[in-house]
Structure 1
Amino acid sequence: MSASQMIANRHTFFGRGSLRELLPLLSADPQPTLLFCGRSFLAGDAWAALENDLTPLLVGHEIVSHEASPVEIDAWVDRWRGRAQRVVAIGGGSVLDAAKAFAALSQHPLNTLRYLEKVGDTAVTGATLPLIAIPTTAGTGSEVTQNAVVTDKTDNKVKASLRHPAFVPQVAILDPDLLRGAPDHVLACCAIDAFTHLFEAYLSAKGNLFTRQMALNGMRSFITAWPRLNSDDEAGDIAREQMMMASWLGGLSLSMAGLGVIHGIAGELGAIKDYHHGEVCGRLLLPFLEISGKSDHPQQQALMSDLANTLFPAFTLPPARLLAEWLKENAIVPFWQTPQTLTQAEVSWILARSNSKNALVTYSEEQQRAMLEAAYDIV
């Protein structure tokens, strides 16, 4: 078994109200700073409180409304190369990934597609602008990962990453109060993405004691948070804090141990459909648990038993079934019940490209098809 390596933020601020650390950080080292954010942030209370003091410290801002495409990243680089010397990203995973991609490619001479995994022909270097990452959702863990996800749904139909250890943001500010007021569907779908990162990293063939203990810690936080994410009280505040921790630990876990078949399918599906990535993972997780419950792989069985003992002491149901039922019974919104479709052609396209990634078990095309057919209406 190979050694695991953890590469994390140089500085991580955690806790309710920690967004207040942003202004002193920028003021202590004045330099031209570009903000990446979503429209919802600019319409919210946090921006209203920051705007007067933050605006003089910025050279401008870019709005990110979806997973960034190579064309969009190239346009940002053309507009801001040489003008921006630092980047601040405040938003969900798509915002953070877009900012990470811009920060890196503004320091590279070629266009995005030349460096992109799966389709590129040139390796990235570690050159990147300093980046402060501030998540407003708890799901992707992008604030602590080495990769920036880029999606091209037009010419190349690919969802892939720009990846280098130097792309981990230097600073992360994890303020659970930024989750307040998010729609229930967003909270739930982002959270199940965080859980899937933790769960797949826990079951990864690349895992070891270090990575699995980290993933278990994250799953403990998730279990505490999952039923109360939208509560407008002290229990909700605690839940959002725990989920922010789970998401960050999920980013660390996936960076060290990798992911499994759920993301092996979800990444390809995301190249052709606009479905929320977290919801895709959550929909696939439930049939995966049914399939894995029938597995006779001894290490996976042992890990699932250890997981159940840790998260659900004195459990009586089989671990995979117990986990699936608990997730459904305690969800703040049953996202998996809303009908979503895939065509037969789309299923075939996905299966021609999907894989089991770092899973302990190699899942056959028939098993992957069964997951898709259980998760989606096939037309």
Structure 2
Amino acid sequence: MIASQIANRQTFFGRGSLRELQPLLCNAPLPTLLFCGHSFLKSPAWQALEADLAPQFIGMEIVSHEASPNEIDAWVARWRGKVQRVVAIGGGSVLDAAKAFAALSQHPLNTLRYLEKVGDTAISGETLPLIAVPTTAGTGSEVTQNAVVTEKVETKVKASLRHANFVPPIAILDPDLLRGASDRVLACCAIDAFTHLFEAYLSAKGNIFTRHTALAGMRAFISAWPHLNREDEQGNIAREQMMIASWQGGLSLSMAGLGVIHGIAGELGAIKDYHHGEICGRLLLPFLHLLGESDNAEQQQLMDELSTALFPGFTLPPATMLASWLKDQAITPFWHDPQPLTEAEVEWILARSNSKNSRVNYTEQQQRFMLEQAFHVR
């Protein structure tokens, strides 16, 4: 099997690397649209650079949640033909929204016509150049081929626009942009990154190349997970490591795909506004229980190798060890106070969820177990 690695053409990494943005824009002047969130506009990073950066943009769109097809269509209608470059500064929702806009501004039909699961038209690789600047470490959207779009009202679908050309040509990974985020945001985004790495590591589509990438990302995660909210040098190093883990998670999922956790989370996210990282983290814990009981030889071999690499010297079963360590070392117990789901919502999710690229085809009963353990079903 051949692993296809698709990455940014330029990646700027390091504390304070957001300063690279202004010369990038000035050295190649183009009409540029900024996508960002309110939190970034209130941040010290924007306040420090606003005088230099703001004149480089012809306009700004604020993204406060996962973009809907109607929102993307409205942005395209407002800016088509006026923009030649896009900058996205924010979390995964901001980056995905900007990627979707950059592509669909170069396509004639509306968003739903191209969207996976519901569309009827293949999307081409036409897109505007995009500079991606993540302010969270979780989705890895700055290095993935897909732009996630969510429609919760009529179609009730969470799906992607996907093409190799949608990988942002330039990414700026500045760990200082994680400073000031709440413990819950840091933890939920980080566990999303870990889930990408972990599911890609176990993926039936994976090979030694993709597992090497995923394992490197999980090592970075392990070093960072307990220290993300510290204000000292150890905290700075942890945020650097988590930014790396998130980027490698995006790279890993692009090569090897994801598993049953995302096979459930994608459908749940189509009907509930819960944080995607929190959904994945909540589902990860009961999944590890199922994994510990699995008799799949390939899966168990991979878990043995993972345990040796991440927790040398420990004698607990690998899945049990991982679940215990994640909970013991978390900066906040994100799994407490489970969010509610109705029985009807569970049935709706299970009718659409799947095991994706898992080595095991998880039954509806097993997927129900994951949902019932992760959420308050009433």
Bin of the TM-score, shorter chain as denominator length = over 0.9
Q: CA deviation at 1:86?
A: 0.2
Q: CA deviation at 1:55?
A: 1.4
Pair 1:247 & 2:246 matched: yes
CA distance in 2 between partners of 1:109 and 1:55 (Å): 30
CA distance in 2 between partners of 1:234 and 1:207 (Å): 36
Which residue of the partner structure matches residue 272 of structure 1?
271
- SS in structure 1 opposite 2:322? helix
Superposed, 1:113-124 pairs within 5 Å as 113-124=112-123
Superposed, 1:55-74 pairs within 5 Å as 55-74=54-73
CA distance in 2 between partners of 1:44 and 1:249 (Å): 26
Which residue of the partner structure matches residue 360 of structure 1?
359
Superposed, 1:1-379 pairs within 5 Å as 2-379=1-378
CA distance in 2 between partners of 1:277 and 1:56 (Å): 34
- SS in structure 1 opposite 2:8? coil
CA distance in 2 between partners of 1:134 and 1:263 (Å): 24
Q: CA deviation at 1:217?
A: 0.3
Q: Which AA in structure 2 matches 1:115?
A: Y
Gaps of 5+ in 1: none
Q: Which AA in structure 2 matches 1:239?
A: A
CA distance in 2 between partners of 1:110 and 1:294 (Å): 48
- Percentage of identical aligned residues: 76
CA distance in 1 between partners of 2:37 and 2:10 (Å): 24
Q: Deviations over 1:167-214 (max 9, x none)?
A: 000000000000001010000000000000000000000000000000
Gaps of 5+ in 2: none
CA distance in 2 between partners of 1:304 and 1:53 (Å): 49
Residues 143, 250 of structure 2: 8 Å contact kept: yes
CA distance in 1 between partners of 2:45 and 2:81 (Å): 29
Residues 338, 374 of structure 2: 8 Å contact kept: no
CA distance in 1 between partners of 2:121 and 2:49 (Å): 40
Q: CA deviation at 1:339?
A: 2.8
Q: Deviations over 1:101-120 (max 9, x none)?
A: 00000000000000000000
CA distance in 1 between partners of 2:262 and 2:314 (Å): 28
CA distance in 2 between partners of 1:200 and 1:175 (Å): 26
Q: Which AA in structure 1 matches 2:275?
A: H
CA distance in 2 between partners of 1:283 and 1:52 (Å): 42
Q: Which AA in structure 2 matches 1:317?
A: L
- SS in structure 1 opposite 2:86? strand
Count of residue correspondences: 378
CA distance in 2 between partners of 1:311 and 1:218 (Å): 11
- SS in structure 2 opposite 1:337? coil
CA distance in 2 between partners of 1:339 and 1:67 (Å): 21
Residues 214, 252 of structure 2: 8 Å contact kept: yes
Q: CA deviation at 1:302?
A: 0.3
Q: Deviations over 1:115-153 (max 9, x none)?
A: 000000001100000000000000000000000000000
Q: If the length of structure 1 is used for normalisation, what is the TM-score?
A: 0.99
Q: Give runs of ≥4 in structure 1 deviating > 2 Å.
A: none
Q: Deviations over 1:266-295 (max 9, x none)?
A: 000000000000000000000000001000
Q: CA deviation at 1:222?
A: 0.2
- SS in structure 2 opposite 1:243? helix
- SS in structure 1 opposite 2:172? strand
Q: If the length of structure 2 is used for normalisation, what is the TM-score?
A: 1.00
